[in-house]
């Protein structure tokens, strides 16, 4: 009979010295340890540990991944290693935190400048939930949750109470800047582009690197702040700024002719200089207007091209060109323009930044919620929002400006980026997730798809498996396909680009294909991003190919298939398509590999209908006789959109009755069971 051998328990110790290992797949507030080391320290997963290097900080203990077992490692994120003040592969001391950290009441954070400060303020509401449970001490660095590719770090400079504290849902945050010059032009929603331009200009003007960028082209809708960005850049770097406006150059060429009254050699004598070529797209439009203007355009384009030819010989000059429309090939493809940076219309957090900037000196009422105003202004550019703030301040009748003043001023406005040809990339509100009732299995699968494609891409690649990157949603009208996609993008969070295929298909086929190509290009530069093709079946509503066309696909479909296939090499882009008519889709889009999942959204069951009713009726003045279980049974076979409309109609009818009281008074509106029954009877008749 074999002898049973029991392992003796490991002796517990109060301190452990381990080798530090840095890994980006470890959360900032976490240290991963081998389970044998956790047993030595007498700790469990989730316990707080003190980590000591050049300085001491704190982290939550988690078990090591399988590949890191039995290696005597302490695996931390790059930011936690930085907080420890040590390099990778150095030794650190680890010991359990015996006392429970105090709940943080207020934390003061230091940011680098006003640009970062605006970026943080627009995301301030996210911080308690993003950092919930994190243990910090004064001097720690924290990573602000942002979708920018350039991370934003803030430093803890003061805490209340002092010492080790733990961030909770009620923690308040204050912000100070290490350098804040109020004379500098403020820019909002352009932090990432500005940081890139700053690095390029610094390399070009402050170093002697021969391969430094000579010229940068900034493109995007008019009014997004491209010229203001360059102006701010020149002042930040303390260099000269010289501006050439294409409109003025055309006017001067028509009136006087002659060469440009500017020389790069003369500019170089001034020292480091930024040359701004503004409104370059005016040269494209001039060709189409008149022969005289076309001749002037040809001359000015040649002169600017010659100026760019001389640029490599002047190391202390960098050129920034600005265009709001496609350029002539001679300028667009000039060898000196080595980089093109798209400047897109601001998303919701970006609009919040701009509103914070533009209203900082205005007397706002306490009820004004700039975040809510940012959500109400999709498609608005920085220029639109500045105009909105100016108009509001002029029209306001009270000492303090109210939110209603903003709404009144916004009504007649037409946001610049809402045209059919303008792509809008936004970040939906996370609160939309709670409004999607039922569909729990589908919601879980969709959320996993987004997370796998964005957060765990490397693990899939290392395992030789392609992560899911595309989903086809089908279902009847009103089943919640669009709401589900918006909610997913908000809760993840991810950028969202919505392409309405019926709107795209209404234009020229070549323009439709170009718009799809531009949408995928924007998604690639805005990762993590969802590109949503609503009513995709419309793209396939074409006449059958003629006999001599070699069965060629419509341009829009061919472009869509090309872009979807290219996603195999792209991390962080997920394609979601929705259709009410999956039977119209062809084998070209349905073949294996194009869509990883095909999901049909069913009509909600009884429990889901009850939850939908509760969501849409929670603000209604409900009578005591309203029974959601009875209503859920009465709304069988109704789509979520129909149920939402039912609640809205009940509220409208109750309000109408209260305002038309025959006694001359106004009775309080009340939504009772009889009102719901009346609406449902009318629907069935």
Tell me, yes or no, whether 461 and 357 share the same domain.
Answer: no
* Residue 453 in domain: yes
Q: What is the dihedral of CA 377, 380, 386, 391, to 10 degrees?
A: -60
Helix (H, G, I), strand (E, B) or coil at 370: helix
Per-residue pLDDT tens over the stretch 565-614 = 988 778 889 999 999 999 999 999 998 889 999 999 999 999 999 999 99
Per-residue pLDDT tens over the stretch 265-293 = 999 999 999 999 999 999 988 777 788 88
* Residue 2 in domain: no
CATH of the domain at 431: 3.40.50.300
Highest mean pLDDT among 201-205, 446-450, 592-596: 201-205
* Residue 7 in domain: no
Average pLDDT over residues 382-395: 96
Tell me, yes or no, whether 483 and 517 share the same domain.
Answer: yes
Burial of 365 from C-beta contacts in 10 A (0-12 / 13-18 / 19+): middle
* Residue 91 in domain: yes
* Residue 10 in domain: no
Domain span at 504: 425-541+553-600
Specify whether the CB–CB gap between 577 and 536 falls below 8 A. Answer: yes
Tell me, yes or no, whether 522 and 643 share the same domain.
Answer: no
Residues forming a β-bridge with 58: 50
CATH of the domain at 626: 1.10.8.60
Give me the pLDDT at residue 600, please.
95
Tell me, yes or no, whether 585 and 461 share the same domain.
Answer: yes
Lowest mean pLDDT segment, chosen from 91-100, 309-318, 676-685? 676-685
Tell me, yes or no, whether 465 and 591 share the same domain.
Answer: yes
Give me the pLDDT at residue 547, please.
41
Better pLDDT: 380 or 10: 380
Tell me, yes or no, whether 407 and 473 share the same domain.
Answer: no
Query: Does residue 65 surpass a pLDDT of 60?
Result: yes
Per-residue pLDDT tens over the stretch 398-410 = 999 999 999 999 9
Tell me, yes or no, whether 367 and 316 share the same domain.
Answer: no
Per-residue pLDDT tens over the stretch 163-197 = 999 999 999 999 998 766 677 888 999 999 999 99
pTM of the predicted structure, to 2 decimals: 0.88
Give me the pLDDT at residue 2, please.
46
* Residue 46 in domain: yes
Better pLDDT: 13 or 235: 235
Tell me, yes or no, whether 295 and 405 share the same domain.
Answer: no
Last residue of a domain, one of 53, 72, 96: 96
How many angstroms separate the CA atoms of 246 and 277, rounded?
7
Give me the pLDDT at residue 392, please.
97
- Starting at the earlier edge strand, list the strands of the sheet with 573-579: 425-426, 495-500, 529-534, 573-579, 470-474, 597-600
Tell me, yes or no, whether 314 and 364 share the same domain.
Answer: no
Band (pLDDT 50/70/90 cuts) for residue 301 is very high
How many angstroms separate the CA atoms of 382 and 658, rounded?
43
Question: How crowded is residue 98: how many other Cβ atoms within 10 Å of its Cβ?
Answer: 8
CATH of the domain at 31: 2.40.40.20
| Buried-state track 137-152, b at ≥16 Cβ within 10 A, e below 16 | beebbbbbebbeeeeb
| Buried-state track 388-400, b at ≥16 Cβ within 10 A, e below 16 | bbebbbeebeeee
Better pLDDT: 237 or 292: 237
Query: Does residue 161 surpass a pLDDT of 70?
Result: yes
How many angstroms separate the CA atoms of 81 and 89, rounded?
10
Last residue of a domain, one of 311, 342, 373: 342
* Residue 656 in domain: yes
* Residue 3 in domain: no
Give me the pLDDT at residue 660, please.
67
Last residue of a domain, one of 418, 442, 457: 418
Helix (H, G, I), strand (E, B) or coil at 396: coil
Per-residue pLDDT tens over the stretch 309-338 = 999 989 999 999 999 988 988 899 999 998
Specify whether the CB–CB gap between 430 and 394 falls below 8 A. Answer: no
Tell me, yes or no, whether 233 and 284 share the same domain.
Answer: yes
**How many Cα atoms within 13 Å fall on the side-chain side of residue 36?**
11
Share of the chain above pLDDT 70, in %: 94
Q: What are phi and psi of 451, to 5 degrees?
A: -65, -45
Tell me, yes or no, whether 515 and 657 share the same domain.
Answer: no
Domain count, the chain: 6
Query: Does residue 50 surpass a pLDDT of 90?
Result: yes
Per-residue pLDDT tens over the stretch 476-527 = 999 999 999 999 999 989 999 999 999 899 888 888 999 999 999 999 999 9
Per-residue pLDDT tens over the stretch 520-567 = 999 999 999 999 999 999 999 864 444 444 557 889 999 999 999 988
Tell me, yes or no, whether 643 and 628 share the same domain.
Answer: yes
Average pLDDT over residues 121-132: 93
């Amino acid at each position: 009979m074999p002898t049973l051998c029991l392992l003796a328990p490991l002796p517990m110790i109060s301190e452990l010295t381990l080798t530090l290992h840095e890994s980006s797949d470890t959360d900032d507030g976490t240290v991963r340890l081998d389970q044998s080391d956790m047993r030595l320290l007498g700790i469990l997963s989730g316990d707080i540990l003190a980590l000591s290097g050049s300085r001491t900080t704190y982290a939550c203990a988690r078990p090591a991944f399988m590949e890191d077992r039995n290696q005597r490692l302490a695996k931390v994120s790059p930011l936690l290693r930085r907080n420890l003040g040590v390099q990778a592969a150095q030794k650190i001391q680890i010991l359990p935190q015996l006392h429970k950290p105090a709940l943080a009441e207020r934390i003061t954070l230091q940011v680098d400048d006003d640009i970062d400060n605006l970026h943080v303020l627009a995301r301030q509401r996210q911080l308690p939930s993003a950092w919930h449970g994190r243990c910090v001490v004064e001097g720690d660095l924290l990573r602000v949750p942002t979708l920018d590719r350039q991370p934003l770090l803030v430093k803890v400079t003061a805490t209340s109470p002092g010492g080790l504290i733990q961030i909770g849902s009620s923690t308040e945050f204050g912000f100070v800047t290490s350098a804040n010059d109020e004379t500098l032009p403020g820019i909002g929603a352009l932090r990432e582009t500005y940081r890139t331009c700053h690095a390029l200009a610094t390399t070009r003007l402050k170093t002697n690197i021969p391969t430094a960028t000579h010229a940068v082209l900034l493109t995007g809708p008019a009014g997004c702040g491209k010229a203001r960005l360059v102006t701010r850049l020149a002042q930040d770097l303390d260099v000269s700024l010289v501006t050439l406006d294409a409109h003025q150059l055309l006017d001067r060429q028509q009136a006087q002719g002659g060469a440009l009254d500017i020389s790069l050699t003369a500019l170089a004598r001034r020292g480091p200089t930024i040359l701004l070529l503004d409104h370059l797209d005016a040269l494209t439009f001039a060709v189409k207007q008149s022969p005289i203007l076309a001749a002037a355009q040809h001359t000015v384009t040649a002169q600017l091209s010659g100026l760019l030819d001389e640029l490599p010989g002047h190391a202390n000059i960098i050129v920034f060109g600005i265009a709001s429309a496609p350029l002539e090939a001679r300028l667009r493809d000039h060898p000196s323009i080595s980089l093109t940076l798209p400047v897109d219309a601001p998303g919701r957090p970006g609009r919040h930044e701009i509103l914070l900037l533009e209203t900082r000196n205005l007397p706002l009422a306490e009820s004004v919620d700039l975040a809510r105003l940012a959500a109400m202004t999709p498609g608005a550019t920085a220029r639109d929002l500045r105009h909105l703030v100016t108009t509001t301040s002029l029209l306001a009748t009270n000492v303090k400006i109210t939110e209603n003043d903003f709404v009144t001023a916004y009504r007649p406005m037409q946001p610049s980026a809402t045209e059919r040809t303008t792509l809008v990339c936004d970040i939906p509100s996370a609160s939309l997730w709670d409004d999607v009732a039922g569909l729990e299995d589908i919601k879980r699968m969709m959320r996993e798809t987004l997370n796998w494609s964005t957060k765990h891409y490397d693990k899939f690649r290392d395992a030789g498996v392609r992560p899911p990157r595309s989903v086809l949603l089908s279902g009847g009208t009103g089943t919640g396909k669009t709401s589900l996609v918006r909610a997913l993008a908000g809760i993840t969070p991810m950028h969202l680009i919505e392409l309405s295929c019926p709107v795209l298909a209404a234009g020229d086929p070549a323009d439709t294909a170009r718009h799809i190509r531009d949408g995928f290009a924007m998604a690639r530069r805005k990762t993590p991003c969802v590109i949503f093709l609503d009513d995709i079946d419309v793209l396939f509503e074409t006449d059958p190919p003629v006999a001599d066309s070699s069965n060629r696909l419509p341009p829009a479909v061919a472009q869509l298939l090309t872009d979807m296939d290219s996603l195999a090499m792209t991390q962080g882009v997920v394609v979601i398509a929705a259709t009410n008519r999956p039977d119209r889709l062809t084998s070209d889009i349905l073949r294996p590999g194009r869509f990883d999942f095909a999901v049909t959204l069913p009509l909600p069951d009884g429990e889901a209908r009850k939850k939908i009713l509760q969501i849409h009726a929670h603000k209604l003045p409900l009578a005591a006789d309203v029974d959601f279980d009875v209503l859920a049974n009465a709304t069988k076979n109704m789509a979520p959109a129909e149920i939402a409309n039912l609640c809205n109609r009940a509220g409208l009818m109750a309000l109408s009755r209260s305002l038309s009281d025959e006694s001359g008074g106004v009775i309080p509106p009340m939504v009772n069971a009889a009102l719901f029954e009346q609406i449902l009877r009318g629907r069935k008749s």
